[in-house]
Chains A and B, each alone.
Chain A
Amino acid sequence: MEIRDVAPLAGVTQQVNDSLTDVEVVARVLGGDGEAFGILIRRYEPGLLRFAARMLGNADAAADAVAESLVRAYRHLGQCRDPGHLRSWLYRITGNRCRSHLARKHMSDLPLSEVPAPALADEADSWTMLERSEQVALVARALAALPPEKREAFVLKHVEGLSYEEMAQVTGARIPTLKMRVHRAREALVAALGALV
Chain B
Amino acid sequence: MTRVLRLVLTLLLPMPLGAQTPGTTKLAGRVPAEAIPAIDSLIAAAVAESLPTEPLVQKALEGSAKGIPPDRLVNGVRRGLLQLREARVLVDRALPGQPQPEGHVAAVAAALARGLPPSIAERMLMMAPGEPPAPALHAAADLVAHRFNADSAADLLVEAHAQGLRGDRLLDVATAADQELQRGGGRTPTDALAHVRAMLPNVPAPKVAVTPRGKTGS
Using a CB–CB cutoff of 8 Å, the interface residues on chain A facing chain B are 21-24, 26-27, 30-31, 43-44, 46-47, 50, 72-73, 76, 78-87, 89, 92-93, 95-97, 100, 104, 158-161, 186
Cβ-based interface call for B214 (8 A): no
Q: Is the CB of B11 within 8 A of A46?
A: yes
Taking a contact as CB atoms closer than 8 A, the residue among A83, A87, A96 that contacts B13 in the complex is: A87
Interface secondary structure of A, over-half rule: helix
A152 to B20, CA, bound (A): 29
Q: Is the CB of B44 within 8 A of A44?
A: no
Binds A, one of B46-54, B105-113, B137-145: B46-54
Contacts of B44 in A (CB 8 A): 79-81, 89
A93 to B19, CA, bound (A): 20
B24 to chain A, nearest CB (A): 5
Q: Which of B1-35 contact A (CB under 8 A)?
A: 4, 7, 9, 11-13, 15-25
Cβ-based interface call for B40 (8 A): yes
Cβ-based interface call for B97 (8 A): yes
Contacts of B212 in A (CB 8 A): none
A38 to B114, CA, bound (A): 42
Q: Is the CB of B17 within 8 A of A84?
A: yes
Contacts of B19 in A (CB 8 A): 23, 82, 84
A39 to chain B, nearest CB (A): 10
Most buried by B among A24, A83, A85: A83
Number of interface residues of B (CB under 8 A): 27
Q: Is the CB of B11 within 8 A of A83?
A: no
A63 to B71, CA, bound (A): 41
Q: Is the CB of B25 within 8 A of A97?
A: no
Contacts of B17 in A (CB 8 A): 21-23, 83-87
Among residues of A, the one whose C-beta sits closest to the C-beta of B18 is A23
Q: Is the CB of A47 within 8 A of B13?
A: yes
- A85-B17, A161-B11 known; A72 and B47 CB under 8 Å? yes
| Extra inter-chain contacts (14) besides given A46-B11, A81-B44, CB under 8 Å | A21-B16, A23-B18, A43-B13, A47-B13, A50-B11, A82-B19, A83-B21, A84-B17, A86-B17, A92-B48, A93-B47, A93-B48, A93-B50, A161-B13
- A47-B11, A158-B7 known; A79 and B97 CB under 8 Å? no
Q: Is the CB of A79 within 8 A of B16?
A: no
Taking a contact as CB atoms closer than 8 A, the residue among A24, A79, A96 that contacts B25 in the complex is: A79
Taking a contact as CB atoms closer than 8 A, the residue among A87, A89, A96 that contacts B50 in the complex is: A96
Taking a contact as CB atoms closer than 8 A, the residue among A50, A81, A92 that contacts B40 in the complex is: A81
Q: What are the 10 closest A-B residue pairs judged by CB atoms, nearest first?
A: A23-B18, A161-B9, A84-B19, A161-B12, A92-B48, A84-B17, A81-B21, A78-B25, A76-B47, A30-B24
Contacts of A81 in B (CB 8 A): 21-23, 25, 40, 44
Among residues of A, the one whose C-beta sits closest to the C-beta of B41 is A81
- A21-B16, A47-B13 known; A76 and B53 CB under 8 Å? yes
Among residues of A, the one whose C-beta sits closest to the C-beta of B16 is A21
- A79-B40, A104-B96 known; A84 and B18 CB under 8 Å? yes
**7 A-B pairs (CB sep. < 8 Å):** A21-B18, A73-B47, A78-B25, A79-B47, A84-B17, A89-B48, A161-B11
Cβ-based interface call for B177 (8 A): no
